[in-house]
């Protein structure tokens, strides 16, 4: 068992090193039991995963130079297998890396000498006012990162004045997560074989105050990560997926499933995982309220293009009829700026939110948002854009 403090390189914890308080919250899995379990699975066990769940950090503000380097700091406190699960991509991780490389292909075209600044980062998405065009992507099992799990993420996201997407695969109930933020929240659904269970979740989400449903279309079969396979990681039994329980997720999806959700719950539907203009067009014809361009952070189908590269033709096909959200690879204010310039109305953050959570609980999540907000502010100020809507294609070469 270890309470390793995070790396000091580039990241400073405002309240000193990570506290050990959380270590007592959950017992470590006995090493012998763990080895036996892993032996039974027959996985190639290169390194053990000795750290306890949840990760032992206090709630604290983080100071950081950028969101890229908190990954390394988080790798020192999140148990090794869980960290691999969070950080890795599918197969060769080509798509995972493309998600980052793509931002290098679009140089910013500044508009100097274009008059007074007066910056406004606020935006409205499906009727919800956000303090910035950046929101929290749906992710499963936040308990892998911090004891407060999705409750911490929701609070940190809300304190930053932006939107929380609650995932089906959460470690806390939809109701508890929703209560943790007075701010806007959406619910992401993985449909289940049992339509009754899906119906129940959709209705609970609405009752808990979620104002839209996000339907993820790219994860009906699990992606596979070599890093995870090497470590023989599996979800720890003390972090159950409390909303879906033991239900079996649907293994094939069609447009009928979109219609099922629309029939079941009277909320706008966001289609997440869109990578082609034809799907975006068909979605709008079927009354979908927003498109989320995403490749699941490179975790599902390795070989699909970077989400940023997929964005321009989709934005063109959508032509402003519904909002376009983009996620996968966003780490910098300049990344947000480029996504906006290529047609996104907002972007969603994935892994950096979990790293902030791991390093500082809800305050860590807020720190991640505070930091990227500062970067976006600086980028827009120097580039000469005053509002989110100002940022159009003419801000790129
Ligand atoms: C650990 C982890 C779990 C995720 N779980 C879900 C999920 O349950 N549902 C979903 O729609 N997307 C899920 N995603 C994908 C995110 O919503 C998002 O598309 C992706 O993380 C964005 O890429 P980024 O991490 O590079 O920012 C998950 C991502 C991570 C890292």
Whether residue 29 has pLDDT greater than 70: no
Residue 279 CB neighbours (<10 A): 18
Provide the pLDDT confidence category of residue 2 given band limits of 50, 70 and 90: very low
How confident is the model over 223-270, as pLDDT tens digits? 999 999 999 898 898 899 999 988 889 999 999 999 999 999 999 999
pLDDT of amino acid 225: 97
Q: Which domain holds residue 367?
A: 95-395
- The mean pLDDT value for 315-320 works out to 98
The Cα 72–Cα 69 span in angstroms is: 6
- The mean pLDDT value for 30-41 works out to 37
Please, how many CA atoms are within 13 Å of residue 294, restricted to the half-sphere of its CB? 31
- The mean pLDDT value for 298-317 works out to 98
Is 42 among the domain residues?
A: no
Is 200 among the domain residues?
A: yes
Provide the pLDDT confidence category of residue 115 given band limits of 50, 70 and 90: confident
Residue nearest to atom 28 of ligand 1 (CA): 139
What's the whole-model pTM score? Answer: 0.89
Is 167 among the domain residues?
A: yes
pLDDT of amino acid 201: 98
The Cα 187–Cα 371 span in angstroms is: 25
The Cα 326–Cα 101 span in angstroms is: 16
Name the domain count of the chain. 1
Residue nearest to atom 3 of ligand 1 (CA): 139
Distance 4 CA to ligand 1 centre (A): 26
pLDDT of amino acid 55: 73
Provide the pLDDT confidence category of residue 19 given band limits of 50, 70 and 90: very low
The Cα 292–Cα 271 span in angstroms is: 6
Is 232 among the domain residues?
A: yes
Distance 124 CA to ligand 1 centre (A): 23
How confident is the model over 138-193, as pLDDT tens digits? 999 999 999 999 999 999 999 999 999 999 999 999 999 999 999 999 999 999 99
Whether residue 98 has pLDDT greater than 70: yes
Beta strand 346-349 pairing with 324-327: parallel
Report CA dihedral (5, 7, 10, 16) to the nearest 10 degrees: 10
Has 296 been annotated as catalytic? yes
Whether residue 279 has pLDDT greater than 50: yes
pLDDT of amino acid 335: 99
Is 30 among the domain residues?
A: no
Whether residue 369 has pLDDT greater than 60: yes
Provide the pLDDT confidence category of residue 50 given band limits of 50, 70 and 90: low
Whether residue 297 has pLDDT greater than 80: yes
Residue nearest to atom 5 of ligand 1 (CA): 139
Residue nearest to atom 1 of ligand 1 (CA): 86
Substitution site in 138, 169, 174 for ligand 1 pocket (most atoms within 8 Å of beta carbon) = 138
Question: What's the chain's length in residues?
Answer: 397
Cα-Cα-Cα-Cα dihedral sign, residues 206, 328, 235, 27:
negative
Whether residue 30 has pLDDT greater than 80: no
pLDDT of amino acid 114: 86
Ligand 1 pocket (Cβ < 6 Å) reads 86, 99, 137-140, 167, 169, 188, 216, 272, 294, 296-297, 299, 327-330, 349-351
Residue nearest to atom 19 of ligand 1 (CA): 296
Is 51 among the domain residues?
A: no
Task: Tell me the pLDDT of the chain averaged across its residues.
Answer: 88
Substitution site in 85, 136, 137, 221 for ligand 1 pocket (most atoms within 8 Å of beta carbon) = 137
pLDDT of amino acid 57: 86
Distance 296 CA to ligand 1 centre (A): 5
Distance 109 CA to ligand 1 centre (A): 31
Provide the pLDDT confidence category of residue 47 given band limits of 50, 70 and 90: low
Distance 137 CA to ligand 1 centre (A): 6
pLDDT of amino acid 12: 33
Distance 110 CA to ligand 1 centre (A): 32
Distance 38 CA to ligand 1 centre (A): 26
Is 321 among the domain residues?
A: yes
How confident is the model over 353-363, as pLDDT tens digits? 999 999 999 99
Is 43 among the domain residues?
A: no
pLDDT of amino acid 394: 98
Provide the pLDDT confidence category of residue 77 given band limits of 50, 70 and 90: very high
Share of the chain above pLDDT 90, in %: 81
Domain CATH code at residue 183: 3.20.20.70
């Amino acid at each position: 068992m270890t309470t390793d403090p995070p790396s000091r390189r580039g990241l400073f914890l405002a309240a000193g090193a990570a506290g050990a308080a959380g270590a007592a919250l959950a017992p470590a899995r006995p090493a012998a039991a763990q080895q036996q379990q892993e032996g039974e699975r027959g996985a190639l066990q290169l390194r053990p995963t000795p750290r306890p769940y949840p990760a032992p950090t206090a709630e604290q503000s983080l100071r950081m130079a950028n969101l890229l380097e908190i990954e390394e700091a988080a790798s020192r406190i999140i148990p090794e297998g869980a960290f691999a699960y969070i950080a890795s991509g599918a197969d060769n991780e080509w798509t995972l890396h493309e998600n980052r490389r793509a931002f290098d292909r679009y140089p910013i075209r500044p508009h100097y000498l274009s008059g007074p600044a007066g910056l406004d980062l606020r935006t409205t998405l499906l009727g919800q006012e956000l303090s910035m065009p950046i929101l929290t992507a749906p992710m499963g099992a936040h308990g892998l990162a911090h004891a407060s799990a999705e409750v911490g993420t929701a609070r940190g996201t809300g304190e930053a004045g932006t939107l929380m997407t609650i995932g089906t695969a959460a470690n806390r109930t939809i109701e508890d997560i929703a209560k943790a933020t007075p701010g806007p929240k959406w619910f992401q659904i993985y449909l289940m074989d049992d339509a009754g269970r899906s119906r129940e979740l959709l209705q609970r989400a609405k009752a808990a105050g979620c104002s839209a449903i996000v339907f993820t279309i790219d994860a009906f079969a699990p992606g596979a990560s070599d890093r995870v396979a090497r470590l023989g990681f599996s979800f720890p039994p003390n972090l159950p997926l409390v909303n879906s329980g033991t239900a079996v997720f649907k293994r094939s999806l069609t447009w009928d499933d979109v219609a099922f959700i629309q029939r079941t719950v009277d909320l706008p539907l966001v289609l997440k995982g869109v990578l082609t203009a034809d799907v975006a067009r068909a979605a709008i014809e079927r009354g979908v309220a927003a498109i989320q361009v995403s490749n699941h952070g490179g975790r599902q189908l390795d070989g699909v293009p970077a989400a940023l590269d997929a964005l321009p033709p989709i934005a063109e096909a959508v032509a402003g009829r519904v909002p376009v959200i983009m996620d996968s690879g966003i780490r910098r204010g300049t990344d947000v700026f480029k996504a906006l310039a290529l047609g996104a109305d907002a972007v969603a953050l994935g892994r950096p939110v979990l790293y902030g959570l791991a390093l500082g609980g809800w305050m860590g999540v807020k720190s991640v948002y505070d930091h990227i907000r500062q970067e976006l502010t600086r980028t827009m100020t120097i580039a000469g854009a005053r509002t989110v809507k100002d940022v159009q294609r003419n801000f790129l070469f």
